[in-house]
Structure 1
C-alpha cells in the first residue's frame, strides 16, 4: 500500500482506500491505497492493461470498485453516479459537439445547469486556454491541440474539484504533444485544482506531474516525484520503464563503511549502500544499475586519464547512432552484452566508432542497486509492444 499525503489541507484530496476491481477471475486493480493531494498534478503511468485507466474510471464513477472506498475531500463518493461527483473528465477523443462553435461548446455545461448569463465565464475560460479569438469557429476548424484546450476549458468551467485526464494527448503528433504538456501544466498551475492524468508516455508524466504512480499488473510499483523515480528506482520494472537502465548482475565482495564493493565480469564496482534496495550479504547477488547518460566513454589508450575512484568497465563499441543532441553507443562488455551510453555531441572523438576498444567510467554515486531475484528485463518495451 503506497500513500502520498498533504497534511495541511485535505479538502480536495482524492483518497482511495483498499480500492480494487475484478472482472470475474481477472483482477484489473489489486487493493490499493492512494492519496492525491489537493492542487497537485498527479500522473498514473503504465503500459496498456496495467490498471491505470480502470483506477481513473473508479474515481470518475464510470466503474464501481469491487472493494474499497473513494473519497473526494471528506465526501465518500464510492456509490455516487458520475454526474453527482465534483469531477470532470477529458478524454483522448475530446468529444466536442461538431455543430456548436467553440463558445457554445465551452458554455454547454453552464447552460445545462440553467445558468443564463454565461458570457463572462466562457470568455475568461477561453482566455485561460488562449483561444479567445477562436470563439466563433467550429471544432473542425481548429488544430488537434486547440481542440484539446477547448475540451479542457469545457471541463474546467464547471469548477470541478478534480480534473481527470485520460490519455488526453495521445492523438497529437510529437511536437504538438510536447507543446500541450507545457500548456496543461500552465493551466493546472493557474487554476490550482487537482489534475489526475493517465498516460503510458513516460516523458509526458515526468514533464507535467508533481507526483507519478508507476503501475504494473494492477499494482503501484513505485510512487514519488519524477526525479526521484528516475534517479532511485526501487524495482527493475521502474528502472527499465522510466527511460533506459544498464543492469549488471553482480556479487557482493565486501562491505566497506557506507559502500558496497561488488564483483562483476572480472572487475569491481562500488555501490553506495544508501542507493541499494536489495539485501546485501557477502557473496549475495545484486543487480547494479546505471543510466546511459551518467557514463563517460574513452578509447582504451586514454584510460590513464580517468580520475581515481570512478567505476570502470572495458568493452568494444558494437554500434553507434547519431541522434543530434547526443550519440548513443552500444558497447559489448564482459558485464553486459548491450551496455548503452549516451554522450552529448560537444566535442566528438572520431576514435569512438564501432570496433573500438573503450573504457566506460562513471561516478559511483550514480549507481543504484536492486534485488537480483527480479526479472532483469521487466519493463523493457519491445518493438511489438510499441507498435501495439
Structure 2
C-alpha cells in the first residue's frame, strides 16, 4: 500500500469492520418492476486487481456498480468484501468510494481542500501530509491552490480520484470516469489511471461502454449483456476466444461466416463455409457438429492477387472483390465483397492490412483472402450472427 494511502488512516475501512479481501457478488439480482436490470450475476473481483464491467447502455453494469456502492438495494443476492457481507450496510459504512463521470468536485474549494474534505469530515486534524502525498500521486501538487474551474477535464478527474483514494477505500468504483473527455485526453487518462492503480494496489472496478478503454486498463473484463455476464476473462482471452457472437461483435470487430461442420481430422475441425473449405483448431471451436459460425479478426486476414502468394495450409476465400479501401496511416482497412448474401454472415469481409509499403488495392480489384487457420474460432451456429454488432457504443448509461 502506498504511503499516501497508509497515512490517511488505519488498515480498516471507514466502518472499521472490513480489512481486505476479494469483492464477491453472489446471485446478485435487481428488478425494476418486471424488468430484470441485473439477472443472477455471480463473480469474484480479486483484491488489488483492475476489473472492468463492459457493456452497452441498459446492460446492467451501472446498476451492478450502484448495488456494490450501496446506492441501490438488490432484489436478491449477496455482496461480500473479503469475508464480510456488506449487502445491507449503508453506503457510508462500506469501505467503497465512487468516482463519477461529472467529477462532483466542490467548485468553491481549492484542489487541496477538495482532496482534504473526506479527512476533515472524519475529524482528522493533520491533513497536510496525506493531502500533499495524494496530490503528488496524481501529479497535481503544483496546482493545490487552484479552483476546479481553473483545471482541465483530465486534471479535474485526477483530483476526483485523489479525493476518493485518500479515504483509503478497499474498492474504488469508477462509473464511466472518462466519458466526458475528448479522445486524446481519454487515452492519456487511461494510462494515468492504470499507473495510479498499480502504484496504490487497490481494487478498481471500472464501468464503461468503451471496449478499447476496458482492454487498455483492465486485468479482467466482464462483458455484460441484458443483465447477465456474457463472458469473463482477460482482454486477450475475450478478444482471441469469444464464447458468443455477441462478444465477438461487441469486443472489437469480427468476420463471422455461417457454415456446417464437415468433420474432425485429429485436432482440427473442418468446415464448409458457403462452399469453401475452412479449418480451425478443435480447442478454439465451441461446437464440433452441425451448424457453426466461423470467425476471424480483420487484422488476421491478408489479401492476395493470386494463389502463388498464399502460404501452404492457409484458409482461403475466393471470389472476393475490393469494395472499399481506407488508408489510415498505420494500416489500410479494406472491405471485400464476397459472392454470398449477407444472411451467411459477412457479405463483406473486413481486412486490416498493416502499412508495410505494399500497393493499396483499389475498389473493383478481384482478390483472394487468406489467413492462418489457427487464428480461426468457431461458435455455435444457432446464435444470431449479428448479435452485438448494431449496438451504439457511444451510449453512456
TM-score normalized by the length of structure 2: 0.92
Which of the residues 79, 99, 107 maps onto 1:98? Answer: 107
Measured against aligned partners, the alpha-carbon deviations of 1:220-267 in whole angstroms (never above 9, x if no partner) come to 000000000000000000000000000000111221111111112222
Where does residue 23 of structure 2 map in the other structure?
Answer: 14
**3-state SS, counterpart of residue 347 of structure 2:** strand
- CA drift at 1:337: 1.3
Partner of 2:81: 72
Match of 1:31 in 2: 40
1:291 aligns with 2:291: no
Match of 1:113?
Answer: 122
Does residue 201 of structure 2 align to residue 195 of structure 1?
no
* Pairing of 1:345-356 with structure 2 (within 5 A): 345-350=355-360, 352-356=361-365
Is the CA contact 1:265–1:334 (under 8 Å) kept in the aligned structure 2? no
Q: CA deviation at 1:324?
A: 1.6
1:57 aligns with 2:63: no
Q: For residues 311 and 165 of structure 2, what CA distance do their matches in structure 1 show?
A: 55
Say if 1:162 and 1:196, in contact at 8 Å, map to a contact too. yes
Aligned twin of 1:6 = none
Deviation string, structure 1 residues 197-228 (Cα, Å, up to 9, x no partner): 00000000000000000000000000000000
How many Å separate the matches in 1 of 2:328 and 2:224?
30
Greater mean alpha carbon deviation, residues 178-187 or residues 334-343: 334-343
Instruction: Give the one of 305, 326, 333 matched to 1:328.
Output: 333
After TM superposition, the score normalised by the length of structure 1 is: 0.94
Cα distance in 1, alignment partners of residues 394 and 138 from structure 2: 32
Task: Write the distance in 2 (CA, Å) between the matches of 1:143 and 1:386.
Answer: 22
Counterpart CA distance in 2 for 1:140 and 1:11 is: 36
Question: What's the offset of the Cα at 1:348?
Answer: 2.6
SS in 1 for 2:41: strand
Judging changes above 3 Å, is the alpha-carbon distance between structure 1 residues 372 and 52 closer, same or farther for their aligned structure 2 residues?
same
Moved over 3 A (4+): 384-388
Counterpart for residue 185 of structure 2: 176
* Partner SS, residue 263 of structure 1: strand
Pairwise CA RMSD? 1.3
Q: Are 2:210 and 2:393, in contact at CA under 8 Å, matched by a contact in 1?
A: no
Equivalent residue of 1:269, what SS?
strand
List runs of 5+ in structure 2 lacking aligned partners: 1-18, 341-345
CA shift, 1:288, in A, is 0.1
The 2-side partners of 1:58 and 1:21 are apart by 9
The answer as to whether partners of 2:209 and 2:394 remain within 8 angstroms in 1 is: no
Query: Please, which runs of 5 or more residues in structure 1 have no aligned partner?
Result: 1-9
- Structure 2 equivalent of residue 316 of structure 1: 321
Between Structure 1 and Structure 2, how many residues are aligned?
A: 372
2:255/2:349 contact within 8 Å kept: yes
More off after superposition, 42-51 vs 372-381: 372-381
3-state secondary structure, aligned to 1:83: helix
2:310 corresponds to which residue? 306
Counterparts in 2 of 1:145-156, with a 5 A limit?
145-156=154-165
**Is the CA contact 1:12–1:194 (under 8 Å) kept in the aligned structure 2?**
no
Within the alignment, does 1:209 sit opposite 2:218 as a pair? yes
Shift, 1:190, TM fit: 0.4
Shift in Å, 1:370: 0.2
